[in-house]
Structure 1
């Protein structure tokens, strides 16, 4: 037996609130459906534009999308590893036969580093050097851009606009400019990644500085400390753990950026990947992809572990831990 409840009688204020809620719900649904329709229209227009003018008959080539993936299937289970470690191919065409470089990839004259492992190390080296350069310059500029440390508005304005210019252009665009001037190689890649890193880290650094506790700085000011002393002893100990955390995060990004720049002539594993794809060496392409994936995962995991250790230790040191 069910008991019928009488309808709830709303007051005048309740009816107004209910009507307002219904109007908001209608607008939300209208905006959601309108946004979905607009998105589909823009997507359709983009595909049409790509097919007609920009990408060489996009829809005509779409059925062949999986042809390249099928070509990547190796002839036997060890073909990828032979390609990765420079082992000679047993096939008559010699498609995986390597010419060992003389001296370039040897350590102490005897320990041989496989070609792609050496190229991967070169990519990591590009990212590491660029990150260190970006960290050093970003560290100096961030204190000049922070409003709680630099009272001169014109100086803050200039430094912030300068860092915006540095990070306004993608690394590959900057690399193309320096590759045209300095020729091919890792040096233009280091310069390009470092320039973008200075702008990116500088922005994140000065935002951390602006949220720092100013009481140590005020105490040093009262004791007669100059600007450099107040920054070095009052602000840097607070912000350094976050600085290092951001630098490690940027190093992860720079490893990927260095790979992309390598594909346009900046050296490293990206150059080898571009050549293997263009020359139709499927096993070499898969070997590079596997090596690149394993390296990025390892760098990400190591960086995340170090960031956790750094930030956690700092929280404990300042009383934030248990």
Structure 2
């Protein structure tokens, strides 16, 4: 009992020391950030919500008009109230509102990037798995490639590519695809390494080739997890394509940057609402598709253990 009390006392001392070190590091980091911010962070903190309070449209209906490219009664010839000039006409009378059109571009960037990135990651992950290729040069080289691909954020890759390929969705697609390959490749090969190898041993004893062993022994086991990770990555890529749009990748991120930079409140709120609706819709569709592909029983409480 005395020994337990002594150990408990030592653990409490270590906990207090750890908390103190954490608080000191946190304070030092905040102080450094404040100095790097010209010493204005703490001074401006009480005014944090002033921008939101002052950044309001002339009328709530202006948000609807900006969203659907309808004429504004406040039109004065400036871009702030010019909602109709950016319409994308399908026929002489039918058009797609500009923000919806830009949102489709953003979703298209995310979808194409996810499909290409998932396909390449699917192929590479088997060459990076220790239980399939051992610890040789192929595994080492494949893993290093994927590490390089996910080492830099998508926005950094996109910034480099826009300087080479010019501004547009192509740079965004390549940037998100590269990061998707690196991120999904790691998740995929970790799933493969946790697969049951008894089916593989049986196929090997029957004389199956390496490709046949992967196809019939490994893929059926790991495919449900692969689908879940790919759908999760699709949701992430929607957000990434929006952010990349702000640095020249096209899509709704670019028009959002322009509208907020020009103090166009109605347009900004319309874009924010569209983004929220789109992200919620993508999340719900992803959850529905995951249930359809994997099976409803996997999501029912207590069924997995049975």
Same fold (TM over 0.5): yes
Q: Is the 8 A contact 2:75 2:82 kept in 1?
A: no
Instruction: Report deviation, 1:101.
Output: 4.0
Alignment-derived partner of residue 3 in structure 1: none
Instruction: Report deviation, 1:93.
Output: 3.3
Structure 2, unmatched stretches of 5+, are none
Matched, 1:233 2:216: yes
Instruction: Report deviation, 1:271.
Output: 0.8
- C-alpha separation between the residues in 2 aligned to 1:310 and 1:200? 22
- C-alpha separation between the residues in 2 aligned to 1:221 and 1:166? 33
Alpha-carbon distance change, 38 to 151 in structure 1, aligned in 2, over 3 angstroms: closer
Alpha-carbon distance change, 250 to 109 in structure 1, aligned in 2, over 3 angstroms: farther
CA displacement, residues 158-181 of structure 1 (integer Å, 9 cap, x when unaligned): 111111111111111111111111
Q: Is the 8 A contact 2:71 2:84 kept in 1?
A: no
Alpha-carbon distance change, 109 to 125 in structure 1, aligned in 2, over 3 angstroms: farther
Alignment-derived partner of residue 81 in structure 2: 96
Alpha-carbon distance change, 220 to 123 in structure 1, aligned in 2, over 3 angstroms: same
Alignment-derived partner of residue 171 in structure 1: 154
Alpha-carbon distance change, 186 to 56 in structure 1, aligned in 2, over 3 angstroms: farther
CA displacement, residues 269-292 of structure 1 (integer Å, 9 cap, x when unaligned): 111111111100111111111111
- Residue of 263, 272, 282 corresponding to 1:280: 263
Alignment-derived partner of residue 268 in structure 1: 251
Query: How many residues are aligned here?
Result: 301
- C-alpha separation between the residues in 2 aligned to 1:23 and 1:185? 65
Matched, 1:307 2:286: no
- C-alpha separation between the residues in 2 aligned to 1:66 and 1:320? 47
Matched, 1:51 2:39: no
Q: Is the 8 A contact 2:117 2:180 kept in 1?
A: yes
Query: Could you state the TM-score of these two structures normalised by the residue count of structure 1?
Result: 0.86
- Residue of 249, 258, 261 corresponding to 2:232: 249
Alignment-derived partner of residue 9 in structure 1: none
Alignment-derived partner of residue 18 in structure 2: 35
- C-alpha separation between the residues in 1 aligned to 2:91 and 2:135? 55
Instruction: Report deviation, 1:46.
Output: 2.5
Matching of residues 6-155 of structure 1 within 5 Å: 18-55=1-38, 57-93=40-76, 95-101=80-86, 105-107=88-90, 111-151=94-134, 153-155=136-138
Matched, 1:206 2:189: yes
Structure 1, unmatched stretches of 5+, are 1-17
SS of equivalent residue, structure 1 residue 148: helix
Q: Is the 8 A contact 1:82 1:96 kept in 2?
A: no
SS of equivalent residue, structure 2 residue 131: coil
Q: Is the 8 A contact 2:70 2:84 kept in 1?
A: no
- C-alpha separation between the residues in 2 aligned to 1:211 and 1:107? 51
* Superposition CA RMSD, Å: 2.4
Alignment-derived partner of residue 197 in structure 1: 180
- C-alpha separation between the residues in 1 aligned to 2:271 and 2:211? 48
Q: Is the 8 A contact 1:84 1:288 kept in 2?
A: yes
- C-alpha separation between the residues in 2 aligned to 1:60 and 1:313? 53
Q: Is the 8 A contact 1:150 1:156 kept in 2?
A: yes
- C-alpha separation between the residues in 1 aligned to 2:72 and 2:18? 55
- C-alpha separation between the residues in 2 aligned to 1:125 and 1:119? 10
- C-alpha separation between the residues in 1 aligned to 2:198 and 2:258? 57
Matched, 1:186 2:172: no
Q: Is the 8 A contact 2:65 2:83 kept in 1?
A: no
Alignment-derived partner of residue 222 in structure 1: 205
- C-alpha separation between the residues in 2 aligned to 1:110 and 1:19? 87
